[in-house]
C-alpha cells in the first residue's frame, strides 16, 4: 500500500514498520506457540511473544527502508525517508532498537539466545542483500521461520515434527509471495495488479497457520488465526504493508 503524502508522524512510523502486516505476524506467533506447546498455555508468555514478534518485524521493516533509501528516492518517493518525514539516521536507530528489543524480550522469556541471534542476523543480512541478490527471497522467508522457531523454544514448548512441517510450509509460501513481489519492478510488469496480488497474499499468510492448527485439531486457535486475514486486509487499507 502506498503511503499518502503528508502522513502524520505517528502513521509514518507505522508505515515504516509495515504495520499493515502485524496481524499476519501475530498469527505466525500464535501458531508457533500453540503447535509447539508441551504444557498448558501461559497467557502472559503468549502476550510477550506477540509483542516481541511485532517489535522484531517493525525493526526489520524499518531497517529495510533505511537500506533502500536510495532506491526509494527514485521508485517510492512517497515513503517517509525519501519524503523527509523521518531522517534516515533516526530510522536506523529506531529500527535497530526495535529489532534488538524484540529478540531481547524472547530471550528474557526463556527462548533460545541462539535462535534470537539467528533471527536478528537473518533480518540484517536480508535488508542488506535483498536488492542485490535474487536468492534473498529465501532469506525473507527465513526471517519469519526464525521467529516461529525461536518462539517454539520458549519454556514449556518444543520443536515437534508438526512445528517443523508447518515452518517449512510457511517458508515456501513466503518464498513464492516474495518472488511475485520482486516482479513488481520489472520493466513492463503490470505493477498495480502485482501489488494488489502481493497485498492479498500477505494478508492470507495466516491461512498456512490455520491449516496447520486444523490438522492438529486445535480449531479454536485455527479460527483465531483465520480471523487475522480480514483484520490484515483492514490494516492494509490504513497502513503500509509492502
Q: In this predicted model, what pLDDT tens digit does every residue of 221-235 receive, in sequence order?
A: 999 999 999 999 999
Cell of 69: 533509501
Global confidence as pTM: 0.94
**Structure confidence at residue 1 (pLDDT):** 39
Compute the average pLDDT of residues 138-165. 97
- Statement: 9-238 belongs to CATH 1.10.600: yes
Confidence of residue 241 (pLDDT cuts 50, 70, 90): confident
* Separation CA 147–CA 29 (nearest Å): 8
User: What are 37's strand-pairing partners?
Assistant: 157
Q: Which residues are bridge partners to 157 per DSSP?
A: 37
Residues 60-77: pLDDT tens digits?
Answer: 999 999 999 988 888 888
CA 184 to chain centre: 19
Residues of the chain with pLDDT > 90: what percent? 80
161, 35 contact by CB (below 8 A): no
Q: Is residue 188 predicted with pLDDT exceeding 60?
A: yes
Please name the residues in contact with 10: beta carbons below 8 A apart, sequence gap of 6 or more. none
pLDDT at residue 242, as a whole number: 84
Instruction: Tell me what the mean pLDDT of segment 73-101 comes to.
Output: 93
CA dihedral 91, 96, 98, 99 (to 10 degrees): 140
Domain ranges for the chain, please list them: 9-238
Rounded (10°) angle between helices 9-16 and 43-67: 90
Average pLDDT over residues 184-191: 74
Q: How confident is the model over 184-188, as a mean pLDDT?
A: 73
Q: Give the per-residue pLDDT at 6.
A: 63
Interval 75-95 mean pLDDT = 93
Helices (H), the chain: 9-16, 22-35, 43-67, 69-75, 80-83, 88-108, 113-129, 136-151, 161-182, 191-203, 206-215, 219-238
pLDDT category at 4 given cuts 50, 70, 90 is: very low
Residue 29's pLDDT is: 98
What are the backbone dihedrals phi and psi of residue 157, each rounded to the nearest 5 degrees, phi first?
Answer: -130, 160
Cβ–Cβ < 8 Å for 157, 151 = yes
Ramachandran region of residue 87, left (φ > 0), alpha (ψ -120 to 50) or beta?
A: beta
The mean pLDDT of the chain is: 93
Most distant CA pair in the chain, distance: 53
Amino acid at each position: 500500500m502506498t503511503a499518502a503524502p503528508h502522513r502524520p508522524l505517528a502513521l509514518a512510523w507505522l508505515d515504516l514498520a509495515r504495520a499493515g502486516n502485524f496481524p499476519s505476524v501475530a498469527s505466525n506467533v500464535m501458531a508457533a506457540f500453540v503447535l509447539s506447546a508441551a504444557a498448558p498455555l501461559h497467557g502472559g508468555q503468549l502476550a510477550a511473544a506477540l509483542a516481541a514478534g511485532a517489535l522484531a518485524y517493525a525493526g526489520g521493516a524499518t531497517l529495510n527502508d533505511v537500506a533502500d533509501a536510495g532506491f526509494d528516492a527514485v521508485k517510492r518517493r512517497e515513503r517517509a525517508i525519501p519524503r523527509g518525514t523521518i531522517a534516515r539516521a533516526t530510522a536506523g536507530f529506531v529500527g535497530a532498537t526495535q529489532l534488538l528489543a524484540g529478540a531481547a524480550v524472547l530471550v528474557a522469556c526463556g527462548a533460545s539466545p541462539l535462535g534470537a541471534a539467528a533471527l536478528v542476523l537473518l533480518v540484517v543480512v536480508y535488508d542488506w542483500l535483498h536488492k542485490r541478490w535474487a536468492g534473498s527471497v529465501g532469506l525473507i522467508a527465513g526471517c519469519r521461520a526464525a521467529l516461529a522457531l525461536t518462539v517454539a523454544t520458549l519454556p514449556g514448548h518444543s520443536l515437534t515434527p508438526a512445528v517443523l512441517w508447518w515452518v517449512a510450509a510457511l517458508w515456501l509460501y513466503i518464498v513464492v509471495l516474495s518472488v511475485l513481489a520482486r516482479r513488481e519492478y520489472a520493466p513492463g510488469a503490470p505493477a498495480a495488479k502485482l501489488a494488489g496480488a502481493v497485498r492479498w497474499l500477505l494478508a492470507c499468510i495466516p491461512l498456512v497457520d490455520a491449516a496447520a492448527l486444523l490438522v492438529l485439531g486445535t480449531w479454536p486457535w485455527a479460527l483465531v488465526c483465520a480471523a487475522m486475514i480480514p483484520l490484515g486486509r483492514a490494516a492494509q487499507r490504513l497502513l503500509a504493508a509492502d
